[in-house]
Amino acid sequence: MAAISAQLVKELREKTGVGMMDCKKALAESGGDMEKAVEFLRKKGLATAQKRAGRATSEGIVQSYIHMGGKIGVLVEVNCESDFVAKNEDFQGFAKNIAMHIAATNPVGIAPEDVPADVVATEMEIYRGQAQEMGKPEKMLDKIAEGKMAKFFKDNCLLNQPYVRDPNLTIADLLNETIAKIGENISIRRFARFQIGD
């Protein structure tokens, strides 16, 4: 196996924010390929996040973000396991980025189960009607509507949305990476977005 240069480890560390030893291991596992090493760390982050998923998150912060000279404002509550982590710079940076993302994308809920039932019913009806207008067979209408509903959830639910600062990541990916980096379970509990004129 080829020796992994300190420069390569440093680059990966700067790119991901993960510790030196984990970066070295990821590069060794991927034969020095930077993209494969990032993917390796992402999968490891997901595994870490899944291990921590059941742990209680009763600490955290309420983060605010004001945009466009006071025209849009967001409050988001992000929870973690300990007061120590709530004061951590990476955790607070994550909360700030989530608040900025919400200001930019205006999600309907955090996850699909948070979207009110009446909104889902209305959207399904619209999608069925559109499919009917296009002359699709009756037995296909529900399937088409469900496919469009899946896209609606991807576009409108915070965890499914592509992160505005890096569209290759979803907010769920960003959350899992932050959990892996910080070493505690983190959850986005709730948010409110205000816009002048809405």
Structure confidence by residue, pLDDT tens digits, 146-197: 999 999 999 999 999 999 999 999 999 999 889 888 888 899 999 999 999 8
Secondary structure (DSSP) of 100-150? HHHHHH--SBSSGGGS-HHHHHHHHHHHHHHHHHTT--GGGHHHHHHHHHH
**Alpha carbon distance 27, 188 (integer Å):** 31
Confidence of residue 107 (pLDDT cuts 50, 70, 90): very high
Of 107, 62, 94, residue with least CA distance to 186: 94
Closest of 16, 61, 89 to residue 187, by C-alpha? 61
Strand, helix or coil for residue 18: coil
Stretch 49-55: mean pLDDT: 58
Residue 58 has pLDDT above 80, yes or no: no
160 touches 69 (CB < 8 A): no
The amino acid sitting at 31 is G
Structure confidence by residue, pLDDT tens digits, 110-141? 999 988 889 899 999 999 889 888 888 888 88
Domains along the chain? 6-52 (1.10.8.10), 59-110+157-195 (3.30.479.20), 116-155 (1.10.286.20)
Question: For residue 8, is pLDDT > 90?
Answer: no
The per-residue pLDDT for 197 is 85
Number of H helices, E strands in the chain: 8, 5
> Do residues 26 and 43 make contact, with C-beta atoms less than 8 angstroms apart?
no
The mean predicted confidence, pLDDT, of the chain is 86
**Residue 191 has what pLDDT?**
96
- What DSSP designation does 81 have? S
Percentage of the chain beyond pLDDT 70 is 89
Q: Where are the extended beta strands (E) located within the chain?
A: 59-67, 72-80, 162-163, 166-170, 187-195
Q: What is the CA radius of gyration of the chain?
A: 20
Q: 50 falls in which pLDDT band (50, 70, 90)? A: low
The 8-class DSSP code of residue 54 comes to: T
Between 53 and 40, the more confident residue is 40
pLDDT at residue number 1: 43
Question: In the chain, pLDDT over 90 holds for what percent of residues?
Answer: 44
Hey, which of 17-26, 31-40, 78-87 has the most confident mean pLDDT?
78-87
